[in-house]
Amino acid sequence: MASAVESLPVSGNHQPSEVRTCETTSLPVCLTAQQFIRWHAVVAVVFLLIGGIGALLLGLTRWPAVHLLDAQWYYRILTLHGLNMLIFWILSFEIAVLYFAGTVLLNTRLASKKAAWACFVLMVVGGIMVDIAIMNGKSDVLMTSYVPLKASPDFYLGIILVAVGTLIGVINYLATIYIAKRDHTYEGAVPLVVFGATAAAIIAVVTVLHGAVVMIPTFLWSMGWIENVDPAWYRITWWGLGHMSQQVNVCAMVSIWYLLATLTVGAKPLNQAVCRTAFVLYILFINLASAHHLLVDPGVGPGWKIWNTSYAMYLAVLASIIHGFTVPASVEAGMRAKGFTRGLFGWLAAAPWSNPGFSGFFLSLIIFGFGGGITGVVLGTQQINIMAHNTLRIPGHFHVTVVGGTTLAFMALTYYVVPLIFQRDFYAKALCRIQPYVFGGGITLFALGMSFAGSYGVPRRHWDVEFTGSQLAMGFDSGAYTMLGVMGIGALVAVTGLFMFILLVVAAVFVGPKIAGQAMEPWHEERQAPADAAAVDEDEHHTPGTLVLAGVFLLTFAVYYFANWKWLSDVWEVR
């Protein structure tokens, strides 16, 4: 009976008029969930567009040869860019992902349509409020709005509304998995993708609670009803919002990796217990890493710093290193099972690189792992952070996690969401196929330039590396200028990829050919395994290519880690 679970006809809990069967995947799609997935996705792309215009202006300002905006507009647009990208775009898309994973993969209806409405309205209204508060010039406080820097009250109120809306959406997801279990719409454990989505949802709850605790008093203070908000207390609590929200992204992104690996190449995780254990480690420990932002702060001591920045002895890093292996291994196992068994990397060479769902996913995996993962752990090492705090090394790091990793994974998924959920086809598929490469390549170049400029000491969030008008003159090494130029070129390429994505998606969603009632056209032709290949690999643990890739990764990690300790030992002694 055990083997029959996958094909068992489980009835679900839908009203017959509230569900359709997907023609491509045969999965049951709850129509209420579908409606809200569409809306959240559309709103997400609008926020992405706002943030993207900001990205272009900022890239052209921090490129010293161009230096486009004046100081006031630079900080204003930086505030806008941060909030629209890191919070509004990502959270909107994540709510759509939760609704998908909760309903479609568990064969259930969405728990509450009213709650979905409330979530949607609050998130949209809150986001618009914040954007207006920024653009009317009274909230040039950057995304972190560190007190005692003060924004206008509607700025904080808008963030509170977005947070409450998100919380309602997350609770709706949790209620959905509850009724699915209650109504026995599935058998056995939930699918791996749902498990990962649940991890993201749980982390989102902690995030939003911290957001409420920090933003409500700050809002009251901006109204003049509270005397004072302590800056150190604010930093600890705000980073509960600011950093934990990025851990939601990590969980959502890894879940999407598993989802896309399945959709594009029929990947098979070797051992789901391992993958799920890694998600459990995320839930329990990844949020301690909010301490990354406070490693050179006054107020908190070395014990607190070392324990929390290490995610409780690197247990969440262990989880990431595990996913970094199990995800490509699932692809390799899937490809080898189809007969692509030649050599170490025959499976990788034969992968569907022209399918933007696959290329976006795999580039996201590589960029996040080699770029974001390694730099994140190294810069988050308590002592090494002395050489990184508030320099461009920090945004250099998080543009390869949140942009090259999460956003690229979301883009890759969108190449399936549009045909499967919007039931529209893309135009200009050749452009779709190259878009992940343009975006991924651009953001990688951008982050490299940024990180190296940061190593020269160039600060983040800083309008003028010439320090025009300062009492005591200061300037940077010419190498820093070269790196800022690399960053600027990378920004142009990445923004090009971003605008390509938005144009392709908007065209498809609003005027694309309707494909309701038919299966989506596959992004790639199934290739035949080479005739001379060895027999199909029966040993599912035979993934030597992944082991080599992962070994290279660990070696790179170790080299960069110890090199940074060496550089640290060259600076002044300090306690």
Partner 1 sequence: MSIYNPPAGWFKAPAGVERLWVGLALTWCIIMSIAMPYWHFYGKQNPTGESYKVSVQEYGQRVAEFVKDNQVGDEGGIPIVEIPPGGDGYLLARMWSFYPIIKLKQGQTYRLHLSSSDLQHGFSLQPLNMNFQVLPGYDHVLTITPTSSGIFPIICNEFCGIGHHAMTGRIIVE
Partner 2 sequence: MSERDPDNKHPLEKLMDNPWLLLVLGVVIPTVSYTVWGWIELLALPPATLP
Contact positions toward partner 2, by CB under 8 A? Answer: 1-2, 174, 177, 189, 195, 198-199, 202-203, 205-206, 209-210, 230, 232-233, 236-237, 240, 244, 273, 276-277, 280, 283-285, 287-288, 290-291, 294, 299-301, 304, 307-308, 312
The CA distance from 158 to 558, in Å, is 43
Stretch of residues binding partner 1 (CB under 8 A), selected from 200-208, 219-227, 499-507, 558-566? 558-566
Q: Interface residues for partner 1 in 463-522 (CB under 8 A)? A: 463-464, 467-474, 476-477
Indicate which single residue of 174, 318, 502, 506 sits in contact with partner 1 (rule: CB under 8 A).
318
> Could you tell me which of 336, 319, 328 has the C-alpha nearest to residue 362?
328
Over the window 11 to 50, marking each residue x when it contacts partner 1 by CB under 8 A and - when it does not, the resulting string is ----------------x-----------------------
505-509 long-range contacts, CB within 8 A, separation 24+:
505/45, 505/414, 505/418, 506/45, 507/426, 507/427, 507/428, 508/418, 508/422, 508/424, 508/425, 508/426, 508/427, 509/42, 509/418, 509/422, 509/424
The CA distance from 254 to 405, in Å, is 9
Tokens 């291994």 map to which residue?
A: 329
Residue 39 binds: one of partner 2, partner 1, none (C-beta under 5 to 8 A by kind): none
> Could you tell me which of 246, 233, 234 has the C-alpha nearest to residue 287?
246
Over the window 266 to 285, marking each residue x when it contacts partner 1 by CB under 8 A and - when it does not, the resulting string is xxxxxxxxx-----------
Q: Interface residues for partner 1 in 93-122 (CB under 8 A)? A: 105
Q: How far is the CB of 71 from partner 2 (least distance, A)?
A: 33
Q: How far is the CB of 275 from partner 2 (least distance, A)?
A: 11
The CA distance from 158 to 417, in Å, is 29
Q: How far is the CB of 445 from partner 2 (least distance, A)?
A: 34
By beta-carbon proximity to partner 2, the closer residue of 292 and 336 is 292
Q: How far is the CB of 17 from partner 1 (least distance, A)?
A: 25
The CA distance from 380 to 310, in Å, is 8
Indicate which single residue of 227, 298, 478, 525 sits in contact with partner 1 (rule: CB under 8 A).
298
Residue 390 binds: one of partner 1, partner 2, none (C-beta under 5 to 8 A by kind): partner 1
Residue 354 binds: one of partner 1, partner 2, none (C-beta under 5 to 8 A by kind): none
Q: Interface residues for partner 1 in 356-395 (CB under 8 A)? A: 377, 381-383, 385-391
Tokens 């806008």 map to which residue?
A: 80
Q: Interface residues for partner 1 in 200-229 (CB under 8 A)? A: none
By beta-carbon proximity to partner 1, the closer residue of 513 and 551 is 551
Is there a contact between 96 and 44 (Cβ–Cβ < 8 Å)? yes
Is there a contact between 106 and 185 (Cβ–Cβ < 8 Å)? yes
By beta-carbon proximity to partner 1, the closer residue of 1 and 531 is 1
Residue 206 binds: one of partner 2, partner 1, none (C-beta under 5 to 8 A by kind): partner 2
The CA distance from 511 to 431, in Å, is 17
Q: Interface residues for partner 1 in 407-466 (CB under 8 A)? A: 455-457, 459-464
**For 21, which DSSP code?**
E
The CA distance from 165 to 159, in Å, is 10
Note the residue count of the chain: 575
- Binding of partner 1 at residue 321 (CB under 8 A)? yes
> Could you tell me which of 248, 406, 285, 274 has the C-alpha nearest to residue 327?
274
| HEC sequence for 291-347 | HHHHCCCCCCCHHHHHHHHCHHHHHHHHHHHHHHHHHHHHHHHHHHHCCCCCCCCHH
Residue 288 binds: one of partner 2, partner 1, none (C-beta under 5 to 8 A by kind): partner 2
Residue 489 binds: one of partner 1, partner 2, none (C-beta under 5 to 8 A by kind): none
> Within the chain, what is the greatest distance between any pair of CA atoms?
79
* 3-state SS class at 541: coil
Residue 283 binds: one of partner 1, partner 2, none (C-beta under 5 to 8 A by kind): partner 2
